Chain A
Amino acid sequence: MKRLYLGLTLLLMAFLASLDQLDAVHRFVARAGVQRWMTELALSLAAVAFFARRSSLHRRMLFPRRGLRLLLAGIAAYALGLAVISGLLARAAGLLPIEADGPWASVPGVLALLRPLPLFIAAEVLLVVGAFRALTNLVPPDEFAADF
């Protein structure tokens, strides 16, 4: 369930980032030092928590669970994208004791070629398909109401 919650939160953050109408809200809260991603994260967390509670997601998910591996892959790709965009990956590669003639000598060069946008797009594809598979694998509402 944590993967589904995190995946839905990341997807909702991407959705909110595409809304130009929220620019005024971002400018207003920026006066208090709040960055854009913080507002989007707070709104997304609140919305996903409300949605999960109202739809009783954790009680309605059928076994075997579907889509959770895709969600995990999407979250990992998103984390990799964040590591690339923040420079963490390049710094981590620089700390590794790689020999110039060794088999891992080309790793820093490969890591330097990584771009964040393709990673974020791949992450979103995985998260969309994973979340779709998970949300279409629930106990139907009339059966759930009859049982509970």
Chain B
Amino acid sequence: MLQRASVLLGLAILLSLLFPFQVALKEGGVDPRAFPVQGIDLAGLGMLFAVLPSTALYRHGRLEQRVSRWTPWLVALSLFTLLFVLLHLHWTHELLADWLREAFGSQRQTLKGAELVSELGVLVCMAGVLVNLHAVAEAPVARRRRKKR
């Protein structure tokens, strides 16, 4: 379950970063900064929108059967995915910002760095997961019994 969620969210994050939907919103006359959604920022919203196409890709590639056990790539993907989600939910972002301000005195550069690390981490780990998939076990071919003459 956790493996499936990590791969699905990882794919969704990657798809949301590949498509310039902020530019598409601007061309459509919508100000991306004025998006009226509570609790999540635009990058997080993009990830949520990308869950549906990532589910389609997940099923198309039969990833559920081919990602069967925890590998280092999958563990790293789940951690980077979790970091991305935490950075783009408002309340966890505020918690992190407050902690960094108290611990280090500045939080903006560190948060920007953490965002970059999470995005690059998802990209690298997703590529690692995809090139290390197991083969799909083919269903046995049903054989017709020969009639005895």
Using a CB–CB cutoff of 8 Å, the interface residues on chain A facing chain B are 11, 14-15, 17-21, 51, 55, 57, 60, 117, 120-121, 124, 128-129, 132-133, 135-136, 138, 140-141, 143
Contact = CB atoms under 8 A, between A and B. Distances in A.
A43 B116 CA distance: 15
B57 to A, nearest CB: 5
B113 A21 contact: yes
Contact of A138 (B17, B24, B133): B133
A42 B116 CA distance: 19
A46 to B, nearest CB: 14
The 8 closest A-B pairs by CB, nearest first: A136-B61, A21-B116, A55-B131, A135-B130, A140-B135, A18-B17, A14-B18, A141-B132
Given A136-B61, A140-B133, 12 more contacts: A14-B18, A15-B17, A18-B20, A21-B112, A117-B24, A121-B24, A128-B15, A135-B130, A135-B131, A140-B132, A141-B132, A143-B135
A55 B15 CA distance: 22
Given A19-B119, A140-B134, A140-B135, A14 B20 contact: yes
B99 interface: no
Nearest to B24: A117
Contacts of B132: 140-141
Contacts, number: 61
Nearest to A14: B18
Contacts of A121: 19-20, 24
Contacts of A143: 135
A117 B127 contact: no
Nearest to B126: A135
Contacts of A17: 20
21 contacts: A11-B18, A15-B18, A18-B20, A19-B116, A19-B119, A21-B116, A55-B127, A55-B131, A117-B23, A117-B24, A117-B27, A120-B20, A121-B20, A124-B18, A128-B57, A132-B60, A132-B61, A135-B127, A136-B63, A136-B66, A140-B134
Interface in B1-43: 14-15, 17-20, 23-24, 27
